[in-house]
Structure 1
Amino acid sequence: MHKTFVGPRLRRLRTDRGETQTQMARNLGISPAYVNLLENNQRSVSVQVLLRLFEAYGVDWRDIAEDDTATVLADLRAMVQDPVFESCRPDLGQLRAALVHCPTLASAFLKLHSLYRTASDQLLSIGDGGEGGVLVAAPPETSVHNFFRRNRNHFRELEEAADAFWEGTIPEPDEIYSYLKYRLRKSLGLSVRVVAVEDLPHTLRQYEERIGEIQLSMALDHPNRVFQLAHMYGLLALGPVLDQILSRTEMTGKRELGRCRVELCNYFAAAVLMPYDAFLREARASKYDMDHLATRFGVSFEQACHRATTLNREGAQGVPFFFLRIDKAGNVSKRFNATDFHLAEFGGACPRLDIHTAFRVPGRIMPQFVEMPDQSQYFTFSRTVDRPSFERHNQDNRLAVTLGCTIEHAPEICYAEGFHVDGHTRMTPIGINCRVCPRQNCDQRAYQAAILTQPVDAMRRGATRFDS
C-alpha cells in the first residue's frame, strides 16, 4: 500500500493559521504527539485524518496529499552531478533519507544551488563588461519552469476546466475554430477578426478590450489561430482558477506572475484542443507519432509535443518526456520537463544533441540515444518547426524541438523502431552545456567548464583549445 507523507505541508498549514500542535490536534481529534510525528514524516497520514483536515480547515485532501517526492528527488540527483560535489557526492540512499527526514532542508539546498548556478552564469555572462557590468535578475522563465517542474508539468484544475469547456460534445477538428468563436461570443461577448499583417505589425494577437474584439494576424496559420482563441478563452474566463494556481507559487514579481499566467493559459489551450483521455489513447495507439497526433487533433507538431509532456495524471500516465526548443544559434527558448533529465537553463544546449543537426534536414525526425555524465540514458527525437513570418524578406524563421524520455520507455516510441534497445545500444555522450559539463577531451567544447579547470599544458594541443 502506498504511504503518503504530508509533513512540510501540514506544518505550513498549521503555522499559516498561527496554531500550536496542541490546537491542531484538538481540531483533528488526534494527539499532539501524533501531529508531531506527522509533521516530521515519521508517520504516514491516514484517510481519516485527511478527511478531518478538509472538515476542520476546508483544505482539499488532494492538495495536501500531493506527493512531489519523485520530482524533488530527481532534482536532487541532477543537482549533485554538479562537479562542485565531485569529492562529496551523496548516494541515492542518502538523498532519499534527506527527503524523508529533512524535506525542508532538501528544498532549501536545491534553492541555494539554483541561486549559485544563476549567479555563476550571470558572472560568466558579464565577460568583459568592465565597470559598467551589472548583474541582472534571473529571467521569469526560470521561476515558471521551476513551478511547472514542482507540479510535474500537470495541473488538475486546468484539465478539469478543459474537460468542462466542451459541455459534453467535442466537435470535429475542422469545426473547432468556428466553435471557439461561438463560445467567445456567447460566454464573453467577444468577436474575432483576422487582420492583415500590415495592420497588426509585429503582433500575432491583440485583444481590444474597448470594443470587445480579439484580433488575429494573417501571419498565423490555422492551427495557431485556433490555439490563440483557446488561450484567450482561458485568460479571460478562468481568472479565479488561474489565481488559485498562482497562489501556490513563491513568485511575487509582476513579470514572473504574468509570464506564469500566460504559460498556464497555454496549458489550458492545449488541454482543450487535445483532451487528456483521447490524446493519451491516441498517443499509445500510434506509439507517440507526433505528426499523426498533430493531424488527428488539428494542432501543430510543437503543440502535440508540448501536450505529451503533461500526461502525468495519477493512474493514467503517459511516457514522461522532457521538451526542449532552441533557435538557430542554439539558445534555449522553451523547456518543460517530466523526467530526471537536467535541461540547460542558460546559454545553449549540448552541441552533441541532434537537435542542432535538425536544422540541416528541415522537417525530418532525428532519433538519438544519449548518455549524461551521471550515466543516465535517454532516447530523444528532434525536428524543426516553422514560426509565423511577417514579411517575405524574413521567411527563414525556424526553430528546432526535442522530445526525450528515459531509455526504458524507448520501445513505446515509434521513432525508436529499428534500433536494438539493450546494453549495447550506441550512446552519444552529452552534457547539460559546456559551462557546467565535466567531460574531458570533448571535441565539441565551446567553453572551459566553470569548475574543475585543468592547468594549461603549453606543450600539448588537444581536440580543442580547452584541452591542453
Structure 2
Amino acid sequence: MRKTFIGPHLRRLRQEAGETQVSMAKRLGISAAYVNLLENNQRSVSVAILLRLFEQYGVDWHDISEDGAGARLADLRGALQDPLFDDTRPDLHELRAAQTHAPTFMEAFLHLHRAYLSASDQLLALAAQPGEVGPVFSASPEGAVHNFFRRQRNHFPTLEQAADEVWDGAPPAPDDMYSALKARLRDRHGIQVKVVRVHDLPRALRHYEQGRAQVLLSEALDHPNRVFQLVHVLGLIECRDKIEGLLQVSGIDDIQGRARCLVELANYFAAAVLMPYDAFLREARSSKYDFDHLATRFGISFEQACHRATTMQREGAQGVPFFFLRLDKAGNVTKRFNATDFHLAEYGGACPKLDVHMTFRLPGRIVPQLVEMPDASQYFVFARTVDRPTFERYGQDNRLAVAMGCTIQHAPEIGYAEGIALQGAAATPIGINCRICPRAGCDQRAYQASVLKTPVDERRRGATRYDT
C-alpha cells in the first residue's frame, strides 16, 4: 500500500481546533510524540488513524491525504517552466520537498502564478482595446474549469459511479441507445424529445425547455451527437445533486465559471454513460487506442472518444495519461484537458510548430509527431480534423482539429506511433505559445515574447523580424 503523509494538513487541523499536540494525541489515542512525527512527515499515517480523524474531527480522509499530489506537482513543474524562473528554477527534489512540507505555500504560489498569467493576458487585451476595463486578476471561466479538472486528474469517481447506475450494469447496445434514452426521459421524467428543423432552433443544437417538459434537438445534429445531447440532459436531471456537490468543492466562485463547470461535468457524466469505464479502457488497450475503432464500437464521435480517453485515471486501472487540445482554423484553443505534465496553452493559440495545424490541409487523416518542450521533455502527439454541424450553406467547412499527446514513454502503447523511430529520433522543438516561449531563433515566432530581453540587431535580418 502506498504511504500517505499528512503533516501540514494535520497541523492545520489541530491549530483550527485550538488544540495542543498533547490534547490531539489523547483524542486520537496515540502519543504526543507520534503526533509530532506525523506533523513533520517523519511517519506515514495509518488507515486506523485516518478513521479516528473522521470520528473525532469529522474530516474526510480524502481531504487531507495526498491523492492529488501528482497533478499538483505537475502543475508546479509546469508553472516553473515559465522563462521568468530561468535563473532560479528549483530541481525536482526541492519541488517534492515543497509538496510534502509546504503544500499550502505551494497552492498559494500556483494561485499567484495563474493570476499573473491572467493579468498579463488581460492587460494585453486592454492595450489593444483601450477603454474596456474589467477585472484584472480573475481567471477566465475556461481556465478555472481546466484548473479544477486538472486538480482532480480529470477523473471524477462520483460521476463514474452515477453513470454505472443508470442502466444497472446492463446498458443498451449503441444502436438502441437513442430510443432507450427517449423512453427513459418520457417514462421517468415526463419529458418529450423532438427533432426540429434548423430554422425552428436558430443557431442552436439543443434546447431543454424545462417548463414545457421537452428537449428540442436540431436536425443539424448527427446521430452520435443527438444521443450525447440526450445523456447530457439526463445528467442535468438525474445527477444534479452530485454535480452540484462537485461545484461546491471546485473553488470556482464567479457565475460564468460555475456555469461552464456545470456544463463540463454534465458532459463528463454523458461520456461515462456512453463509454463505461472498464469496457472503454479494455477496448482502448486492445485496439492500441484506435479512436476510429472506439468511435464505431461505442457509437460516438472521434472527438468524444478522444475526450473520454483523458479520463482513464482510476487508481489501479489507469490508461495512457493523455492531454487533449482542440483548435479552430485560426489557431485558437477552444477546449483542453490534461492528464500529463504537458503545459497546455491557455491564452491565445498553440505553438505553430505543432502539426495539429497541418491537419486542416489533410482533413480526416491522422498526423503523428514527436515534439520536445524547452525543458527537453518529449511527447508523442497525433492530430486529426473533426467536423462540426452545418446549419446552412454559408457556414460550411466548420472543421476543428483535435490533438492528443502523451509522454514518449507511453508511445509504444499507441498504434499511431507504429513505424516511427521513438528512440533517438529528432523531435520538433515547440513551446507553449509565442507569448512565453524562450526559443529566440524560432522561424515561426509570431511576436516578441516578454521574456526575451535581447534587442533586435539592426545589422542582421534573421528568419523572422524578432530573430536577434
> What's the TM-score, normalizing by structure 2?
0.95
CA distance in 2, matches of 1:129, 1:304: 39
Deviations 1:349-396 (A, max 9, x none): 000001100011111100000000000000000000111121122121
Q: How does 1:434-453 map to 2 (within 5 A)?
A: 434-453=434-453
2:202 equivalent in structure 1: 201
The size of the alignment, in residue pairs, is: 467
Matched, 1:2 2:2: yes
Offset, 1:67:
1.4
Q: Give the aligned partner of residue 168 of structure 1.
A: 169
Amino acid at match of 1:88: T
Report how far residue 126 of structure 1 moved. Answer: 2.6
Match of 1:243 in 2: 244
Following the alignment from structure 2 to structure 1, what is the Cα–Cα distance between the partners of residues 221 and 396? Answer: 13
Instruction: Describe the SS at the equivalent of 1:279.
Output: helix
Single out whichever of 40-49 and 227-236 deviates more from structure 2: 40-49
Match of residue 419 from structure 1 = 420
Q: 1:402 is matched with which residue?
A: 403
Give yes or no for contact 2:126–2:132 (8 Å, CA) kept in 1.
Answer: no
**In 2 relative to 1, CA 177–160 (structure 1 residues): closer, same or farther, beyond 3 Å?**
same
Quick check: 2:225–2:301 contact (8 Å CA) kept in 1? yes
1:281 aligns with 2:282: yes
The answer to whether the aligner puts 1:53 opposite 2:57 as a matched pair is no
Q: Distance in 1 between matches of 2:161 and 2:7?
A: 28
Q: 1:26 to 1:387 in 2, by over 3 A?
A: farther
CA distance in 2 between counterparts of 1:45 and 1:363 reads 52
Q: 1:304 — aligned with what?
A: 305
Measure the CA separation in 2 of the matches of 1:370 and 1:436: 17
1:327 maps to 328
Alpha-carbon distance in 1 for matches of 2:153, 2:459: 50
SS class of match (1:323)? strand
| CA RMSD, Structure 1 to Structure 2 (Å) | 1.9
- Asked whether the 8 Å contact 1:123–1:135 carries over to 2, the reply is no
Deviation at 1:41, TM superposition (A): 3.2
Residues 39/140 of structure 1: CA separation in 2 closer, same or farther (3 Å cut)? farther
Please name the residue that 2:69 is paired with. Answer: 69
Farther-moved stretch of structure 1 (178-187 vs 163-172): 178-187
Deviates more, 1:128-137 or 1:361-370: 128-137
* 1:194-213, Cα deviation, whole Å (9 max, x unpaired): 11111111111111111211
The aligned amino acid for 1:381 is: F
CA distance in 2, matches of 1:268, 1:239: 10
Counterpart Cα distance in 2 of 1:374 and 1:110: 19
Q: Corresponding residue for 1:86?
A: 86
Aligned partner of residue 216 in structure 1, secondary structure: strand
Q: What is residue 466 of structure 2 aligned with on the other side? A: 466
Deviation at 1:132, TM superposition (A): 5.0
Segment drifting more, 299-308 vs 178-187: 178-187
Indicate the SS of the match to 1:109: helix
Question: Could you list the runs of 5+ residues in structure 2 that have no partner in the other structure?
Answer: none
C-alpha contact 1:126 1:135 (8 A) present in aligned 2? no
1:388 aligned to 2:389? yes
Q: Which residue of 2 aligns with 1:177?
A: 178
**Deviation larger for 207-216 or 24-33:** 24-33
Identity of aligned residues (%): 66
- The aligned residue for residue 108 of structure 1 is 108
2:439 counterpart letter in structure 1: R
Q: How big is each residue's C-alpha offset from its partner over 1:388-441, in whole Å with a ceiling of 9 and x where there is no partner?
A: 12112212111000000000000000000011211x212000000001000021
Deviation at 1:27, TM superposition (A): 3.7
Compared CA separation, residues 19 and 274, structure 1 to 2 (3 A): farther
SS at match of 1:112: helix
- Rounded to whole Å, the distance in 1 between the matches of 2:335 and 2:190 is 33
